[in-house]
Amino acid sequence: MTPRVYLERDGGIAVIVIDNPPINAGSAAVRQGLMAAIETLRNDDTLEGAVLIGAGNTFIAGSDLREFGQPLTEPQLPAVIAAIEACGKPVVAALHGAAQGGGFELALGCDARVAAPGTVVGLPEVTLGIIPGAGGTQRLPRIVGIPPAIRMICSGERVLAAAALEAGLVDLIATGNLRSAAVAHARQLKGQKRLVRDRQVPPASSADVATATTAAPQAGKRRPAVQAAIDAITATAQVGFDDGLADERAVFQRLRVSREAFALRHQFFAERESAKHPSLGEATARPVERVAVIGAGTMGSGIAIAALDAGYRVLLLEQDAAALERGTGRIHAHYASRVQGGKLSASAAAACEARLQTSLDWADLASADLVIEAVFEELGVKQQVFQRIDALARPGAVLASNTSYLDLDAIAAATSRPHDVIGLHFFSPAHVMKLMEVVRGQSSAPDALATGLAVGKRLKKMPVLTGNAFGFIGNRLYAAYRRQCECMVEEGAWPEQVDAALRAFGFAMGPFAVADLSGLDIAWRMRQAQAATRDPQARYVHIPDRLCEAGRLGRKTGAGYYRYPEGDQGPQVDEAVHALIAQARADKGLQPRELGDDEIVRRALLAIVNEAALLLAEGVAERATDVDVVLVNGYGFPRWEGGPVFWARERGAAALQEDMLWLAQLSGPGFVTGDLRHLLTPEN
């Protein structure tokens, strides 16, 4: 086995190199190697100090998360840090790339930190449902003070080297060679220990502490790890370093095996896997620098912003001068508000806008490496647009459609190069939403799809590969969920009860408030289009149609499932809707019954799980865990619940089979049950 840690000598300084590619994760082998190296440092009289440095392009960028669900192997990280503190000689951490989580805690346990420009440091543990467990909550406040430590740990924020220097998190930025700078620093410290544990916690006003302890849980969605982190940080000034350290470790050990931590780790791995696609073989992405966006509407302008933010040169193309002006205005207003809100510097905003070219002249398309179409959702219009693109785009350019529901193959067929055509399905607002579906048509070339995935990554999106089927993965799952919620309303629940139960479960919004926000007419038009082919025996809930027929199209008409009075008061329960629903039940001769919140949540989740099983069987979704990535990143499913597949696996095969029989019975005729086997088998 390659040694994970090795010791080199630079005069009297030991250079301890951590070599555990690709990210130098702090595994058991790394900890053992560090322990042995520190032992050598302590016992070897010819050594006066040491530098800890990562091989390759990073320090320890994080921990080996797979260890966290099992009994931990010795030595554990706190013991390694304790050995550094007790070795009697100065140890300098040389940071480059990323020093996060356990990696940054290790650095905080050293006598000094020297960083290369561009390094990021951070303690993102709460985003994984745990708290820093190797002194992060005790050492960080001794450097920055309690309120900033709360902000940094509870948000899991990544701090860049320059800001880290200002905050005292690093002592020096190495302008030249990092290793030499760190060695020189270690020499300067000869004979001294400068431990963070020996510092006093800087005083903070109780008002500042109160502000930080109130704001952090709100920003952190009131998850238990956030509160536990606050408690550990604020305790340190009262209980002292050693007791604080022991308490922190106990909380870490408890949280790392909590259900929430398992769920968040599941989501973490699901997201990491979603970018890997064995079905694309060795295909590599085509180079993309210039992106053309066609259509400057809601989506087109959002996509343009996302591409500008990612450093692409963007051409925004329209057919209509007024629409182009409106779209350009939206982009400009967006950057102006980010500058005004202090989120972006004026020069960075100007640089983004300088990369934007707007045009009504289609000949400009010729220089684009990637064309993203975001025009009206009509097949005929899209086919015409793709014919024009085909005539003008350079050979090898990737041609993408942002369609939500149309058949990608029918769009690709309008071109002479269907292998270059893929779907890039963004979600609204396109510059904000993380999810991006990359749609594989029957002719899409693997390298065109790989390009879509690579562009998604550069746009800082969560790209998920999907087959070409009506609604792709996300909208199809969501439609099944919404239909089940409509069934429950027909049976006796009120929309506000369904919304409240699902919000209490953790969804960002309830399905009926979401429907009102997006407008009820889109789904209505779709149901009308499908009316001729619908199975007349299948259960059909008429309530949404009745709302639309009454002119209640959602927020935009001031009424939908809720009322929206003038002035932004949010959704108001409306007796008229109750009456309309009661009438719809009576028309079918249904006796309303009470549905408990537990039934509501269970049926809503089971409907998603069942649809996921169907998508997997049809090959639309390649991997069960992609379903979790889609719902968490595109539909407000609570991340800390892991996703519907995590939930289903936790229930287990036997209980789930029984649940599905129950769901099928309640859902009535036309409900198609999926085969759960594939969904229940973990991929790795």
Report, as residue numbers or ranges, the catalytic residues: 105, 125
Helices (H), 275-405: 298-309, 321-340, 346-354, 379-392
- Residue 364 in contact with ligand NAI, rule: CB under 6 A: no
CB of 513 to ligand NAI, least distance (A): 16
Residue 295 touches ligand NAI, criterion: CB under 6 A: yes
Q: Are 177 and 184 in contact (CB under 8 A)?
A: no
Q: How far apart, in whole angstroms, are the C-alpha atoms of residue 63 and residue 65?
A: 6
On the question of a cis peptide bond just before residue 148, with omega within 30 degrees of 0, the verdict is no
In whole angstroms, the minimum distance from the beta carbon of 636 to ligand NAI comes to: 14
Query: Least distance in Å: CB of 463 to ligand NAI?
Result: 15
The string of DSSP letters for 501-559 reads HHHHHT-SS-HHHHHHHH-SHHHHHHHHHHGGGS-TTS----HHHHHHHTT--BGGGTB
Phi, psi angles (nearest 5°) of residue 316: -105, 120
For the CB of residue 424, give the shortest distance to ligand NAI in the complex, in Å. 10
> Does residue 402 interact with ligand NAI by CB under 6 A?
yes
CB of 298 to ligand NAI, least distance (A): 4
- Decide: is 404 part of the binding site for ligand NAI (CB under 6 A): yes
Residue 53 phi, psi (nearest 5)? -145, 150
Q: Is 633 in the site for ligand NAI (CB under 6 A)?
A: no
Examine residue 407 and tell whether it contacts ligand NAI (CB under 6 A). Answer: no
Complex with ligand NAI: residue 320 or 618, whichever CB lies closer: 320
Minimum Å distance from CB 142 to ligand NAI? 48
368 binds ligand NAI per the rule CB under 6 A? no
Binding range to ligand NAI, per CB under 6 A, among 60-68, 295-303, 339-347, 560-568: 295-303
Q: How far apart are CA 664 and CA 341, in angstroms?
A: 50
Q: In the set 161, 294, 422, 577, which binds ligand NAI (CB under 6 A)?
A: 294
* Nearest approach, Cβ of residue 493 and ligand NAI (Å): 27
Query: Pattern of binders to ligand NAI over 233-252, x per CB under 6 A?
Result: --------------------
List the structure tokens of 601: 């949540």
List residues bridging with 401 in a β-sheet.
Answer: 373, 423
Residue (of 458, 134, 163) closest to 288 by Cα position? 458
Beta strand 172-173 with 91-95 is unpaired
Which one of 192-200, 372-380, 526-534, 617-625 is the stretch in contact with ligand NAI (CB under 6 A)? 372-380
Q: Cβ of residue 405: shortest distance to ligand NAI, in angstroms?
A: 7
| φ and ψ of 286, to 5 deg | -80, 150
State yes or no: residue 456 binds ligand NAI (CB under 6 A): no
319 makes contact with ligand NAI (CB under 6 A): yes
**Both tokens assigned to 280:** 């694309």
Looking at beta carbons only, is 299 or 489 nearer to ligand NAI?
299
The residue count for binding ligand NAI (CB under 6 A) is 23
In the complex with ligand NAI, the residue whose CB is nearer, 278 or 380, is 380
Among the residue ranges 55-63, 133-141, 188-196, 313-321, the one whose residues contact ligand NAI (CB under 6 A)? 313-321
Judged by CB under 6 A, does residue 127 bind ligand NAI? no
CA distances to 238, 448, 459, 469, 597 from 493, rounded to whole Å, are: 51, 47, 41, 32, 9
User: What CA–CA distance (Å, rounded) separates 326 from 297?
Assistant: 8
Q: Closer to ligand NAI by CB, 225 or 374: give it.
A: 374
Query: What sign does the CA torsion over 646, 652, 654, 655 have?
Result: negative
- Show the tokens assigned to 671: 């409900």
Binder of ligand NAI out of 377, 407, 521, 545 (CB under 6 A): 377
Residues 465-524 that bind ligand NAI (CB under 6 A): none
Smallest gap, in angstroms, from Cβ of residue 372 to ligand NAI? 10
Helix axes 241-256, 259-274, angle to 10 degrees: 70
- 414-433: contacts with ligand NAI (CB under 6 A): 426-428
Rounded Cα distance between 261 and 254, Å, is 10
| Shortest reach from residue 65's CB to ligand NAI, in Å | 33
Q: Does 323 bind ligand NAI (CB under 6 A)?
A: yes
Omega before 429 cis (within 30°)?
Answer: yes
- Closer to ligand NAI by CB, 292 or 485: give it: 292
Give the pairing of strands 435-440 and 421-426. antiparallel
Instruction: Output the residue with the shortest Cβ distance to ligand NAI.
Output: 297
Give the residue, chosen from 297, 492, 506, 558, that forms a contact with ligand NAI under the rule CB under 6 A: 297
Told to check if 441 binds ligand NAI by CB under 6 A, we report no
Half-sphere exposure of 179 (CA within 13 A, CB side): 15
Q: How far is CA 47 from CA 43, 151, 253, in A?
A: 8, 39, 36
Query: Is 381 one of the binding residues for ligand NAI (CB under 6 A)?
Result: yes
Tokens of 306: 């996302």
Nearer to ligand NAI, 150 or 371 (CB): 371
CA distances from 225 to 25, 130, 261, 635 (A): 22, 5, 9, 23
As a dihedral over the C-alpha atoms of residue 231, residue 133, residue 225, residue 264, rounded to 10 degrees, the angle is 180
| CB closer to ligand NAI out of 109 and 452 | 452
Residues that bind ligand NAI (CB under 6 A): 294-300, 318-320, 323, 374-377, 381, 385, 402-404, 426-428
